[in-house]
Amino acid sequence: MSDRVTVRARVNGVEYERSVEPRLLLSDFLRQDLGLTGTHVGCEHGVCGACTVLVEGEPVRSCLMFAVQADGARLTTAEGLTPGNGAPLHPLQAAFRDAHALQCGFCTPGILMSMAALLDAPSPLSDEDIRATLAGHLCRCTGYANIVRAVRKAHGQLHR
């Protein structure tokens, strides 16, 4: 077995330090080593997008990064969009609920993270822009239309 390496990362504002194998995927690190199971794994080859998280504010596939590569980084997962249990939903999450933009909810955390990054910019956002970014995520339940509605709505609220 290969030597272990130490990973220190700030995830959703909390500092973590763990000793891991270099081959450990970031997705498994978040889910198993940190217990942050809100990030989901659907394909482990970078296509489905369920495992998307923010690293330094940018969306990445956590199944295509080794945990050791996130050493020293600032990460955000679906759990980090709201401050804690019982806190009101982030406007993007609330818009997803209002628009019925999720069904089984498995792909949702990854989509939320990509869309959160997309919403960071105050520039106008067309449905085509939303769909082009959403095309990096597979959802088998919703048929996407309500997700587009939700993101449009959240964009309107965040950049009024």
Distance from C-alpha of 104 to C-alpha of 82, rounded to nearest angstrom = 20
Q: Which residue has the tokens 């970078």?
A: 46
SS3 sequence, the chain?
A: CCCCEEEEEEECCEEEEEEECCCCEHHHHHHHHCCCCCCCCCCCCCCCCCCEEEECCEEEEHHHCEHHHHCCCEEECHHHCCCCCCCCCCHHHHHHHHCCCCCCCCCHHHHHHHHHHHHHCCCCCCHHHHHHHHCCCCCCCCCCHHHHHHHHHHHHHHCC
Tell the smallest beta-carbon distance from residue 77 to other proteins (Å). 7
- Under rule CB under 8 A, residue 123 binds other proteins: no
Tell the smallest beta-carbon distance from residue 47 to other proteins (Å). 4
The residue (of 15 and 58) whose beta carbon lies closer to other proteins is 58
The residue (of 10 and 131) whose beta carbon lies closer to other proteins is 131
- Under rule CB under 8 A, residue 31 binds other proteins: yes
- Under rule CB under 8 A, residue 144 binds other proteins: yes
Shortest CA distance to 131 belongs to which of 107, 156, 114? 114
Single out the residue of 39, 76, 119, 155 in contact with other proteins (rule: CB under 8 A): 39
Single out the residue of 11, 36, 119, 154 in contact with other proteins (rule: CB under 8 A): 36
- Under rule CB under 8 A, residue 154 binds other proteins: no
Single out the residue of 18, 32, 74, 91 in contact with other proteins (rule: CB under 8 A): 32
The residue (of 146 and 155) whose beta carbon lies closer to other proteins is 146
Single out the residue of 22, 156, 157, 159 in contact with other proteins (rule: CB under 8 A): 22
Annotate each residue in 40-79 with x if it binds other proteins (CB under 8 A) or - if it does not, as one string: xxxxxxxxxxx-x--x--xxxx-xxxx-xx-------xxx
